[in-house]
Amino acid sequence: MSAADIVITGHGAVTGAGDEQAFRAAWLEGRSVVRPFEKNAEGLPPGYGAQVDFAHKDLRGLPGGRGLRPGTMTEFTFLACGAVGRALASAGIDAPGDDPAEVMDRRGIYLGSYTNFPKLKKHTKLTHVMADVDEASRGNYVIDDARISAGMKGFTGFDFLKLMNNMPTAHASIQAGARGPANTLLGHASVGLQAVGKAVDSIRVGLADQFVAGGTGPGASEGLCTLRHGSRLLSKVGIDPATAARPFDADATGLVPGDVGAAVVLETRANAEQRGASALARVVGWDDAFVAPTSPRGGMSDAGPLIRILRSCLSQAGWLPQDVDYVGASGIGLQSVDIGEAAALAAVFGADLSELALAVHTGVSGFGEGGHATLGLVGALQAMSDGRVPPQVNLSEPLRPLHAMSRIHLPVERDIRRALVIATSPEGSMVVFAIERE
């Protein structure tokens, strides 16, 4: 089976703006939803982001939501299940657990989740209590193993189980009634789109007829804010939140945290037709690559691999650069990565860059880690549907390779049939996806 026989029949998202429709509205208005941290985030760098209000009850009303146990979820899992539920609803799969066994057996779920991380205080308290009291009085931290049990007071097994990296997918497989393949892609911020690509491959080799695939990234959670701040990748403290997320912009100061969960429903054309589902787009290519950064999180050291996979996707799709109606760029807002993506776009599109409809959502939603790129795919599907290229938010002074690019300040009406979506990451991996409207 070729990738072109695989269609997308639904999409959903949970973002700092709200669901995928609220996200779309904010983007078309050119409105950033990055704001000062509101809830229980005092002291957390950079002090602002696009946070999701984690209302567990919201999951209950989504397809498959009644069987979920939000109390056993991390923020990663919560966003994953929110996005999966929204995507299932969009695809008309309202009661996935009630489907016939043969349908569930052929439904898979792949999610990208940068990692899975606990609440800081509870687990850090454990390490504090473990400390040797005498050594502590001298200012030294030495673990007293006899105090491990004391540190465990207040914990249950679920406090550890929920940290396992496969838990977003484990919960979502129950939610989605998915008894086919299930897997969690990890470790890089591009994994949300890689998971969708792996789902395409799994359908191609016959493992399933239908997949829910996407990514989750509570970028504005304390765990990821802490990590990214420590890696010196976050944007500056004390700047205007609404203008902080600046993809491809010369004045960008770093990653702006955003919470994002996003997912799509993929299936064979035959499966979609059999159940009467409408195909939004077909998959016509995808590819991924990795180039080691100069330091562990040091930015894109070489644009060559991204150029290669952009061209690979054009080739798979049978397109020339000028055939592309829309590029959902990654533009994570980190100059050391964005400059590589900009160079790759300039190299591949050349003179066509001035006509290119380049859309990038980071200015609206912040950087949503494992959910970021899947949200870009959702944005491309929305653009195919509503025929509008949304504005480039907070992109005032494009990085040099993009000086010739077309500037979009207000939504532009356009017949969008062919789209590329790009994922990049501070860790060095990248993904490109090609879809064509049905």
Partner 1 sequence: MNRRRVVITGMGTVTPHADDVDRLFAQLCEGVSAVDRITQFDPEGLPAQIAAEVRYAVDGPSQVGPYACTSRTMQFVTAAAQRTLADAGLDGDLASDDPERGRRAVHLSSGVGSTAMEALGPLTLGVWGSPDSDAKRDLVALRRAIASHPEAAHLVEDWFCDFAAPALAVMFGADRVSTAASACASGSHAIMDAVHMIQLGKADRVLTGGVCTPVTRSMMPGFAMLSALSTRNDDPPAASRPFDADRNGFIMGEGSSLIVLEDLDAAQARGARIHGEILGVGIATDSYRLTDPEPTGRGMGEAMRRALKDAGLGPADVHYINAHGTSTKLNDAAETKAVKASFGEHAASIPMSSSKSMFGHLIHAAGITEAIVCTKTIQDGVITPTINQVTADPDCDLDYVPNVARQSNVQVAMNNSFGFGGQNVSVIIGAYDGSRA
* Window 342 to 371, contacts with partner 1 (CB under 8 A): none
Comparing CB distances to partner 1, the nearer of 131 and 242 is 131
Comparing CB distances to partner 1, the nearer of 325 and 341 is 341
Cα–Cα distance for residue pair 167/73, rounded to 1 Å = 8
278, 3 contact by CB (below 8 A): no
Comparing CB distances to partner 1, the nearer of 222 and 259 is 222
163, 116 contact by CB (below 8 A): yes
- Give the range of 194-202, 242-250, 350-358, 369-377 binding partner 1 by CB under 8 A: 194-202
* Window 133 to 162, contacts with partner 1 (CB under 8 A): 133, 136-137, 139, 141, 143, 145-149, 152, 155-161
Q: Judged by CB under 8 A, does residue 231 bind partner 1?
A: yes
3-class state of residue 286 by DSSP: strand
Pairing of strands 182-186, 107-113: parallel
- Give the range of 238-246, 254-262, 381-389, 426-434 binding partner 1 by CB under 8 A: 426-434
Comparing CB distances to partner 1, the nearer of 124 and 396 is 124
Other residues' Cβ atoms within 10 Å of the Cβ of residue 135: 13
> For residue 329, what are the CA distances in angstroms to 72, 91, 197, 244, 315?
35, 25, 17, 18, 19
> For residue 370, what are the CA distances in angstroms to 113, 220, 374?
5, 12, 8
Q: Judged by CB under 8 A, does residue 95 bind partner 1?
A: no
In the complex, the smallest distance separating the C-beta of residue 84 from partner 1, rounded to whole angstroms, is 13
Does the N-terminal peptide bond of residue 46 adopt cis geometry, omega within 30 degrees of 0? Answer: yes
When binding is defined by CB under 8 A, the residue of 95, 164, 270, 410 that contacts partner 1 is 164
* Window 53 to 72, contacts with partner 1 (CB under 8 A): 69, 72
| DSSP assigned state of 116 | -
Comparing CB distances to partner 1, the nearer of 172 and 399 is 172
Comparing CB distances to partner 1, the nearer of 183 and 235 is 183
Comparing CB distances to partner 1, the nearer of 126 and 357 is 126
Other residues' Cβ atoms within 10 Å of the Cβ of residue 88: 26
In the complex, the smallest distance separating the C-beta of residue 247 from partner 1, rounded to whole angstroms, is 23
* Window 388 to 407, contacts with partner 1 (CB under 8 A): none
In the complex, the smallest distance separating the C-beta of residue 304 from partner 1, rounded to whole angstroms, is 8
Comparing CB distances to partner 1, the nearer of 63 and 398 is 63
333, 367 contact by CB (below 8 A): yes
* Window 255 to 314, contacts with partner 1 (CB under 8 A): 288-296, 298, 305, 308
324, 420 contact by CB (below 8 A): yes
Q: Judged by CB under 8 A, does residue 4 bind partner 1?
A: no
Q: Judged by CB under 8 A, does residue 186 bind partner 1?
A: yes
96, 107 contact by CB (below 8 A): yes
- Give the range of 13-21, 23-31, 167-175, 247-255 binding partner 1 by CB under 8 A: 167-175
Amino acid identity at 419 = A
Cα–Cα distance for residue pair 358/367, rounded to 1 Å = 17
